[in-house]
Structure 1
């Protein structure tokens, strides 16, 4: 085909500004619908609509490539359920007819024949010939539904999304950034229901220092909306030089688990938008397998995760763990799973398997089962670094102090380095609108490669932290160690300085109380 003809057939690129306006317009339309209540309803609906448009654009590309190669192409979604069959025409089905086609178990389809409704068809898809796209689609749509009550408003939203072209890397990059901004809004809304998401700066730091290499396998067993996997994908993409390496990245590098239907859908879309063609996300609970049955074939080279903490797992899940290490605390169960799933042999890059894991302070100082699990960690793995995050990193969702622990399979722990990340000068805390920034970790990154003790860093003897009773049983392993430099400074303060500090803290409390009084006086309006 002549170049001019190709260019004429290709849709014009949508600018970032136009994409932003288009998505805002779609969300404004959804706000008029009585069946949707806030972004917790609107974003999933917009996501599954975009998901189907993306798949159809991807299928068109693959169909064209197969035609050029003279090979047979079989679509993941058959007519008349493809986007182009029912959604692409602005004059197509709408109103009650559209709702019946999407929601019905059986309905009149856009081509006039009777058959399963759209969701019923998608949920029943099964993979064939090793192509797991169908399984991904089926799993996604088993976890979502259509809550819009107006088929006319739904048609308006579909027409808006039809203006997005998932056919150029520029647009995918732009849409990926916009989608991430919507995910942040989603996280803000979800924070009220106990979902705590890892700040992007912390995710990027954990990926950078663990430094996954192409050919290594990366797992997030609590993937959420896919933040760690997206960042790891970007990190690995920069290493790709050949078609064969691209295949390794796409098919054998990234894995995740996410049992909740909504985060699973958001994770799939997030990874698709960032360039992973067929995300390998397990929709089951990562803790559902017996720990003793996880063997070498189930192990990976790198684990990056922020597992849920503060929750409680049911008895059936706890029974998958050794009797003396069972607990309802999800963070401790995940820590055992992570240790079990790290490969014991060196990776393809000749390095030990390694993990970076966000844990609450309670994991560091807990006794009983927690102490036994930490003793396993120190005796079977090299826990080489504990990064103590500043207070409020997860604000406004929780004020629980958190840490990132870094360990690998190079041998038992000999010494543990602690690094205390400070708040920026002049800041009392982080907020939703002023979160932690990646640039704040610059000193930590410089320290990482050439470690030395200083005002923020200190090291301790690892084996010496394990306390045992007379029978040799582990009774305590305290990793909640305070900065000795800060403690020494505290011990040597002059009395006048102590009084001044106490008065300053009192003034801060009074100021906060005044703010609270003002909010109460304003009332609910």
Structure 2
């Protein structure tokens, strides 16, 4: 059995990226990484799904038939660069995009393939360089569990770079420590349906799968787990990356939907409700009118994060639970009759909002300096009190940055304080406090409450700290203005 060592794989990936840099059709990582990903996907799909399926089941029906299988064209050394480019552009991609599986069967790999490839474009202009790139990808093997773990490890590094590149265009991705903490404190169980309605590259889903697959003992449990890991993603590039990410972790037909998650959730039936939602919805976006009108009167707003919170509450089964990232602005008091106050009222009346974890500034650097919060709630019982826990940055620092990012170990004091699945033995003091639901209601459902044990105010902060914060805010504003100027070609003085 052929295997690929981590060092060899890293070398192959580096050579592949060097090859793509030579092609005039690829401009930056936002072009190069998707190009590499769909080729890696086809190679992995051929070895991990098609070949394994045919080996285990004599009646297995190939999702990709001759001459479109990877081994038919990619591994054929007689296929010249010009011929390969013409085949990929005019035959392969159109064929994969037109595949159609059984109606309504989300597990049919043909439906997965068609959803991925309907937006795939071969951007490479040189057939010779495309031939070189395909040859390099063909050197990678996915035949053993060690190969999968090795490729998954390196793929994570590719995704990180993809996130960094995407961050420049307004995409926010959840840092791994935050991702791991939210999954861990959700106390997942086998047999539960788990949804990320803004799944991006699949970080929450992969983390949840990795936590649960260790407990799998039978093939039936494994199949059920694959079916229970579900995601929704609107944009084509993250959808491709999430599909590849899940495939590399052993899920041959990922349960991912390419759709506007708000429309998908508002059109869902009771049978579509889930046990757990883990998500980091878009910050500060605005939805179009057709989406807003899907929501009840009195709750219609263009603010994306509010709509996600409302839709998720309805998407949960009774007894279901959620861990969600929300920016500070969503927690502030918004006025007695504001839509934000109404949605938080709905949250606290229909769910037990038991914990709010406040994150320091810079956790999502370099995308934004906006402080964020992690909300944990369970549907079925109204909130009686909310516990708050404030994560303090280490070493007396004010926050985090791209070069000094948050580490998973910094959540350990919060994990110890949490009190396990039943949240037993929590105490106030230092970083933790609790507030009665009645007090929050009286304050127009304001959840942006300061730590009473710190009592920091502007008068207690040094002029240097205040000046630094103002400079950071001004820098972020100027960055946004620069993006507007670049987008509209306007002159901003």
Q: Normalising to structure 1: TM-score of the pair?
A: 0.85
- Residues 353-392 of structure 1: per-residue CA shift (max 9 Å, x gap): 1000000111111421000000011111100000000111
Match of 1:114 in 2: none
Paired with 2:292 and 2:101, the residues of 1 have a C-alpha distance of 32
Paired with 2:464 and 2:440, the residues of 1 have a C-alpha distance of 36
Q: How does 1:39-438 map to 2 (within 5 A)?
A: 39-58=29-48, 59-66=50-57, 71-89=58-76, 91-104=77-90, 117-128=91-102, 130=105, 132-251=108-227, 253-289=228-264, 291=266, 294-344=268-318, 352-367=319-334, 368-438=338-408
Paired with 1:505 and 1:234, the residues of 2 have a C-alpha distance of 41
**1:411 partner SS:** coil
The answer on 1:462 being equivalent to 2:453 is: no
Match of 1:479 in 2: 447
Paired with 2:29 and 2:346, the residues of 1 have a C-alpha distance of 43
Aligned residues: 464
Match of 2:465 in 1: 505
Match of 1:111 in 2: none
- The higher radius of gyration belongs to 1
| RMSD, aligned α-carbons | 2.1
> What is the Cα deviation at residue 431 of structure 1?
2.0
- Residues 274-298 of structure 1: per-residue CA shift (max 9 Å, x gap): 111211001011111473x543211
> What is the Cα deviation at residue 504 of structure 1?
4.5
Paired with 1:53 and 1:307, the residues of 2 have a C-alpha distance of 31
2:313/2:379 contact within 8 Å kept: no
Q: Which runs of 5+ in 2 are unaligned?
A: 420-424, 476-493
Paired with 2:303 and 2:182, the residues of 1 have a C-alpha distance of 23
1:86/1:92 contact within 8 Å kept: no
> What is the Cα deviation at residue 192 of structure 1?
1.0
1:308/1:331 contact within 8 Å kept: yes
> What is the Cα deviation at residue 300 of structure 1?
0.4
**1:325 partner SS:** coil
CA separation of 1:133 and 1:385: change in aligned 2, threshold 3 A? same
1:56/1:83 contact within 8 Å kept: yes
2:265/2:315 contact within 8 Å kept: no
> What is the Cα deviation at residue 194 of structure 1?
0.6
- Residues 191-221 of structure 1: per-residue CA shift (max 9 Å, x gap): 1111010100000000001011000110000
1:306/1:358 contact within 8 Å kept: yes
CA separation of 1:416 and 1:337: change in aligned 2, threshold 3 A? same
